[in-house]
Structure 1
Amino acid sequence: MANQAFIVEGNTILNGEIEPQGAKNEALQVLCAVMLTDQKVEIKNVPEILDVEKLISLLRGLGVKIERLSKGHYSFQADDIDLDYLSSDEYQNDAKKIRGSVMLIGPLLARFGKAYLPQPGGDKIGRRRLDTHFIGFQKLGGEFKFDEETNDFYIHADRLKGCYMLMDEISVTGTANVLMGAVLAEGVTTIYNAACEPYVQQLCKMLVGMGAKISGIGSNLLKITGVESLGGTNHRVLPDMIEIGSFIGMAAMTKSDLRIKNAAVKELGNIPSVFQKLGIKLEIENDDIHIPAQELYEISSFIDGSILTIYDSPWPGFTPDLLSIILVVATQARGSVLIHQKMFESRLFFVDKLIDMGAKIILCDPHRATVIGLERKTQLRGISMSSPDIRAGVSLLIAALSANGSSTIHNIQQIDRGYQNIDGRLNALGANIERVDL
Structure 2
Amino acid sequence: MEVFKIEGGVRLKGEVIPQGAKNEALQILCAVLLTPEKITINNIPDIIDINKLIKLLGNLGVKIEKLGPGSYTFQSDEVNVGYLETEAFKKEGGSLRGSIMIVGPLLARFGKGYIPKPGGDKIGRRRLDTHFEGFINLGAKFRYNREDHFYGVEAPDGLTGNYMLLDEASVTGTANIVMAAVLAKGTTTIYNAACEPYLQQLCKMLNSMGAKITGVGSNLLTIEGVEKLGGCTHRILPDMIEIGSWIGLAAMTRSEITIKDVSWENLGVIPSVFRKLGITLEKRGDDIFIPEHKDGYEVKTDIDGSILTIADAPWPGFTPDLLSIVLVVATQAKGDVLIHQKMFESRLFFTDKLIDMGAKIMLCDPHRAVVIGHDFKSILKATTMSSPDIRAGISLLIAALSAKGTSTIQNIEQIDRGYERIDERLRAIGAKIVREKQ
Say if 2:331 is the partner of 1:328: no
1:274-330 Cα shifts (integer Å, max 9, x gaps): 000000000000000000000210000001100000000000000000000000000
Say if 2:19 is the partner of 1:21: yes
Alignment match of 2:95 (pick from 87, 94, 97): 97
1:419 is aligned to 419
Whole-Å separation in 2 of the counterparts to 1:4 and 1:99:
23
Whole-Å separation in 2 of the counterparts to 1:263 and 1:70:
22
Equivalent positions of 1:3-402 (< 5 A) are: 3-158=1-156, 159-295=158-294, 296-402=296-402
1:103-155 Cα shifts (integer Å, max 9, x gaps): 00000000000011100000000000000000000000000001111100011
Corresponding letter in the other structure for 2:190: I
SS of 2:280's partner is coil
Corresponding letter in the other structure for 1:394: I
Whole-Å separation in 2 of the counterparts to 1:360 and 1:106:
45
1:176-195 Cα shifts (integer Å, max 9, x gaps): 00000000000000000000
1:408 is aligned to 408
Whole-Å separation in 2 of the counterparts to 1:90 and 1:69:
28
Whole-Å separation in 2 of the counterparts to 1:155 and 1:436:
44
Measured after TM superposition, the shift of residue 51 of structure 1 is: 0.2
Query: Runs of at least 4 residues of structure 1 off by over 2 A?
Result: none
- Using the size of structure 2 for normalisation, the TM-score is 0.99
Whole-Å separation in 2 of the counterparts to 1:386 and 1:139:
42
Whole-Å separation in 2 of the counterparts to 1:384 and 1:24:
28
Measured after TM superposition, the shift of residue 90 of structure 1 is: 1.6
Whole-Å separation in 2 of the counterparts to 1:129 and 1:155:
16
SS of 2:31's partner is helix
Corresponding letter in the other structure for 2:134: G
Whole-Å separation in 2 of the counterparts to 1:143 and 1:171:
21
Whole-Å separation in 2 of the counterparts to 1:432 and 1:322:
24
Whole-Å separation in 2 of the counterparts to 1:68 and 1:12:
37
Whole-Å separation in 2 of the counterparts to 1:180 and 1:348:
33
Whole-Å separation in 1 of the counterparts to 2:253 and 2:152:
49
Corresponding letter in the other structure for 1:163: N
Corresponding letter in the other structure for 1:119: K
SS of 1:376's partner is coil
Corresponding letter in the other structure for 1:168: D
Whole-Å separation in 2 of the counterparts to 1:115 and 1:61:
15
Corresponding letter in the other structure for 1:372: I
Corresponding letter in the other structure for 1:40: K
Measured after TM superposition, the shift of residue 382 of structure 1 is: 0.3
Whole-Å separation in 1 of the counterparts to 2:265 and 2:338:
27
Say if 2:436 is the partner of 1:436: yes
Measured after TM superposition, the shift of residue 12 of structure 1 is: 1.6
How many residues align? The count is: 436
Whole-Å separation in 1 of the counterparts to 2:87 and 2:148:
12
- Using the size of structure 1 for normalisation, the TM-score is 0.99
Structure 2: tracts of 5 or more residues without a match: none
Whole-Å separation in 2 of the counterparts to 1:210 and 1:393:
37
% identical aligned pairs = 65
Corresponding letter in the other structure for 1:176: A
